[in-house]
Amino acid sequence: MTFLEHRRKLQTSRPARYEAMCEIRAFEDRAQALFFEGLVHGTTHTSQGQEAVSVGMAVAARPTDWVTCTYRGHGHALALGMDPSVVMGEIMGKRIGSVGGVGGSMHLCEVSVGLLPTFAIVGAGIPVAAGAALTSQVRGTDDAAIALFGDGAANIGAFHEGLNLAAIWKLPVVFICENNHYGEYSRIDLTTPVEDIAVRAVSYDMPGHVVDGQDVDAVSEAVGAALARARAGEGPTLLEMKTYRYAGHSRADPGAYRPEGELERWKERDPIAIYRTRLIEEGELTPEEAGDIEDRAARRIVEAEETAAGSEDATVADMFRYIYAP
Amino acid sequence: MNQAIAAALADEMHGDPDVIMFGEDIAAAEGPFKTSAGLLKSFGPLRVRDTPISEMGFLGAAVGAAATGLRPVIEIMFIEFIGVALDQLVTEAAKFHYLSRGTITVPLTVRGSVGAGLGFGCQHSQTLETWMYGNPGLKLAVASGPASAYGLLRSAIRDNNPVVMLEPRVLYARRAQMETGEDAVIPLGKAAVAREGADVTLVALGAMVPNALAAAEGAPWSAEVIDLQTLVPYDKEALLESVAKTKRLVTVEENPLTGGWGSEITSFVAGEMFGELEAPPIRVTCPDIHVPFGKELEQRYLPNPGYIAEQVGALLETGRRPPHWWEAYR
Ligand SMILES: Cc1ncc(C[n+]2csc(CCOP(=O)(O)OP(=O)(O)O)c2C)c(N)n1
Ligand SMILES: [Mg+2]
C-alpha cells in the first residue's frame, strides 16, 4: 500500500483507523521491548495510549499539509503513512531507516508524507510549523501545517512566541497539544497553573478547544474543523487532546511517580478498546473482523522488524553525508 | 560521578544558606542523571526546586536571584537545551558586573550534561563548549571524573562570576574512590597533570581525559597528560611548563575540528614557543559532522584511545601532522 492509499483509506474507512491504531500499539510495544532487551542503542519514547491523536490527526490532514512533532513521534509517522520497517530501521540504525540510520528513535523524517524532521528539543517544532504555514500563505496555496507537542511544551517560550506570531499573521496552522499529563517525571499540575492548556489560546485571540484524545473520531473532527478554518484564511487554532502515556517517559523511566491506580483508570479509556466497541456496536465491524485486523497489524510489525533487522547497518561513510546542501 | 556531584552540591548548600538550586526534575525525581539525590530531603522545597520546561525563564530567574544576593545552581539537563536560554547567560549574566561598574556580581552556576557515547542522537550528544568559551565574563569548567566534578563544582558555586560547569554524560556512572571536603576543592583556572611524561603533552578536557590517559598507558612513548579542567580561563602556565619539557603538543577534543577549543590552545602555545617546538602542535578531534546514532558509528566518531595513540605515534615518528582518519571519506 502506498502512503496515499493509506491516507485515502484512513479518510474513508473507520476500520482502517482501527487498524492504524492497532499497528501503532504493536509497533510501540515492540520498540519498547527492543530497548529493554538491549537490542538497540540509546533511548526511545513510546506513545502507547495516545494512538487516537496520531490517527485522528492523519485522518484530517491532507497529504500536502506539513506536520511537525517530537521525539515521541513513531505513532505520528506511522499514521501519516511511513512504512513501519523504515521507522523500525531508524531505531535500529539501519540504512533503510528514515534518516538512513544515523538519526535514531528521536529523529524521523519523511517529506513525502509531510513529516518534517521530528524535534528532540521541546517546543522547537511549534514556530517551525508556523513557518511552514507561512509558505502556503505566501504562495497562496490552501495547504496548512500542524504542530504536535506535549503539555510540558506549553511552558516554553517557543510555544508562546509561535502562537502569537501565527495569530497576528493569521497563519494556516493547527497547534495540537497532546496533554498526556506529564512532562518527564513531573505531573502537569506541578509545572502548569492552568488545568486546560486550551485556555492559553485566549491570550493569542485564537479558538482553543479541549478534545477527548482517546476518541479517534472526536480528534479527527476537531482537527478537520481547525484545518478548514486555517485553509479559509481565518488563522490558527489551539487544540488540546486529553490523553495519557502508558509507558514511562523514555526507556529509562519506569513511571514510578504516577499515583496508584491512575494508569489503570486511563486504561479503562483505552483508545483502541473504545473504538473497537464502537465499531462493533455500530455494525461496522464484527468481533471476528476486529480480531483479523489486530492479527494483521501485529503481523505487519513482526515483518517490519524482520525486514529492518535483516537489512544493512548504516556505515561510517553515511555519517558524512548531507552535512551541507550542494 | 553523579554521587560526587550530589555531594558537592550538598556540601556547598550546608556551608552557605544562599545556595539554592533548580532545574527540570531535579527535586522530587532527584535529577534525570541522579545528580541531586537526597537534596530535596536535606534542604527542602524552598531551596531545591523543580521547574517547568522553561529554560529561558529559569536561567533568567537564576540571573536575577544571583544579581540580588543568592548563589543559584541550575541544571540544564542536556547542554543543547541552553540554546533557548543563551541570551540570559552570554548577553545578560556575563555582562552585569561590567554594566554595573562592578556593583553587581552574578554568582551563578550553570551545570549541564554534555557529550556523545550513549546513543542519544545528534540533538542530545554535543559538547558545545564553543557556544560558551568566547565570552568575557563567563567561566567554563569541564569535569573529567568524580573527583574533578566534585572539586570544580564547589569552586564554581563559590565563584562570584557566572560559571558553566559541563559534565560528560558518559562519566555519570563512573565510580572512583575519592576524598571530599575542603582539601578536595579544585580552584578554577588550574590544570591538573593527570600523568607525567617526557615526549609529548596531551591536553584534554572532560571525557577525553580518560581516553588520553588510556592512549598514553602502555604506549612506546612517554606522554604527559594535562586535564585542563577549566577552559575559561585556561591555565597558561601549566601548558607552557609542560610543553617546555616535552616540546610537542597534542590536544584531544570531543568536538568537531573546525572551531574546537584546541584551536585556541594550540595557537597560544605555538605563539609563545614557536622556535622551541619539535613538531607542529596537532589536534585530535571529531570530524566536522553531526554526532551519529548507532553504537559503532558513535565510537568511530569519538577520538578513542587507539586513534589517539595512532595520531601521537605518527606525530612522534614523522614530526608532521598525520592525516585525520576521515580524510578518506571526504
Ligand atoms: C528545551 C528542552 N528542554 C528539556 C528537554 C528534555 N525533555 C525532553 S522531553 C521532556 C518532557 C516533555 O514533556 P511534554 O511536552 O509533555 O511531552 P511528552 O514527552 O509528554 O510527549 C523534557 C523535559 C528537551 N528535550 N528540550
Ligand atoms: Mg506530556
Extended beta strands in B33-132, E state: 48-50, 71-76, 109-114
Q: How far is CA A147 from the centre of its chain?
A: 10
For A41, nearest residue in chain B (alpha carbons): B119
B201 forms beta bridges with B224, B249
Yes or no, beta carbons of A185 and B28 under 8 Å apart = yes
b/e code A171-184 from CB counts within 10 Å (16+ = b): bbbbbbbbbbbbbb
CA B233 to chain centre: 12
Reading across the β-sheet that carries B200-204, which strands appear in turn? B192-195, B223-227, B200-204, B249-256, B282-286
A157: closest CA of chain B, how far (Å): 7
Which architecture characterizes domain B192-322 according to CATH?
A: 3-Layer(aba) Sandwich (3.40)
- What CATH class is the domain B2-184? alpha beta
CB contact under 8 A, A102 and B297: yes
Delineate the domains of chain A, giving CATH numbers in brackets: 3-309 (3.40.50.970)
Going by pLDDT thresholds of 50, 70 and 90, the confidence category of residue A246 is very high
Vertex B176, ends A185 and B252: CA angle to 5°? 90
Mean pLDDT over B21-48 rounds to 97
Question: Which H helix or E strand runs over A19?
Answer: helix A14-36
pLDDT recorded at residue B295: 93
Tell me, yes or no, if A194 comes closer than 8 A to chain B by beta carbon: no
Contacts of A313 in chain B (CB under 8 A): 294, 296
Q: What is the mean pLDDT of residues A295-307?
A: 98
Distance from C-alpha of B10 to C-alpha of B23, rounded to nearest angstrom: 16
CB-CB contact of A70 with A118 (8 Å): yes
Partner-chain residue, chosen from B29, B52, B329, that has the shortest CB–CB distance to A155: B52
Cβ–ligand 1 distance for A184 under 6 Å, the answer yes
Would you list the domain boundaries of chain B?
Answer: 2-184, 192-322
In B, which residues are within 8 Å of A319 by CB distance? 287, 289-290, 292, 297, 300-301, 329
Q: How far is A156 from chain B (nearest CA, A)?
A: 5
* Three-class DSSP category at A147: strand
**Residues of B forming the active site:** 124
Q: Does B229 have pLDDT greater than 90?
A: yes
Residues belonging to chain B with any Cβ–Cβ distance to chain A shorter than 8 Å: 24-25, 28-29, 32, 50-57, 80-81, 83-84, 118-124, 287-290, 292-298, 300-301, 326, 329-330
Contact B84 A158 (CB under 8 A): yes
Residues 6+ apart with CB under 8 A from B314: B322
Q: Which three-class secondary structure state does DSSP give residue B223? A: strand
Indicate the pairing of strand B223-227 with strand B192-195.
antiparallel
Within this chain, domains B2-184 and B192-322 share the same CATH topology: yes
Please work out, in degrees rounded to the nearest 5, the angle formed at the alpha carbon of residue B24 by the alpha carbons of B19 and B25.
Answer: 95
Q: pLDDT tens, B38-71?
A: 999 999 999 999 999 999 999 999 999 999 999 9
**Assign residue A49 a region: left if phi > 0, alpha if psi is -120 to 50, beta otherwise?**
left
Calculate what percentage of chain B has a pLDDT beyond 90. Answer: 99
Given a contact cutoff of 8 angstroms between Cβ atoms, the answer to whether B93 and B126 are in contact is no
Considering chain B, what is the average pLDDT of its residues?
97
* Closest by Cα among A133, A195, A135, A125 to A158: A125
Residue A98 CB burial class (10 angstroms; 0-12, 13-18, ≥19): buried
Distance CA(B191)–CA(A222), nearest Å, equals 60
Residue nearest to atom 12 of ligand 1 (CA): A183
Percent of chain A scoring above 90 in pLDDT: 96
Taking the C-alpha atoms of B84, B88, B90 and B95 in order, what is their torsion angle to the nearest 10 degrees? 170
Say yes or no: CB of residue A183 within 6 Å of ligand 1. yes
What pLDDT is recorded for position A251? 86
DSSP A277: H
**Which residue out of A121, A149, A253, A322 would a mutagenesis test of the B interface target, given it has the greatest number of B Cβ atoms within 10 Å?**
A121
The whole-angstrom separation of Cα B72 and Cα B93 is 12
Contact call for A191 and B56, based on CB within 8 A:
no
Q: What is the pLDDT of residues A150-167, one digit of tens each?
A: 999 999 999 999 999 999
- Model confidence over B244-272: pLDDT tens digits? 999 999 999 999 999 999 999 999 999 99
Best mutation site among A46, A47, A184 for ligand 1, i.e. most ligand atoms within 8 A of its Cβ? A184
Strands, E assignment, B68-138: 71-76, 109-114
Residue with the smallest CA separation from ligand 1 atom 11 is A183
pLDDT for A291 equals: 98
Give me the total of CB pairs closer than 8 Å, taking one residue from chain A and one from chain B.
128
For residue A101, pLDDT over 90 is answered with yes
CA distances from A141 to A124, A125, A138, A230, A231 (A): 25, 21, 8, 11, 9
Does the beta-carbon distance from A184 to B290 stay under 8 Å? no
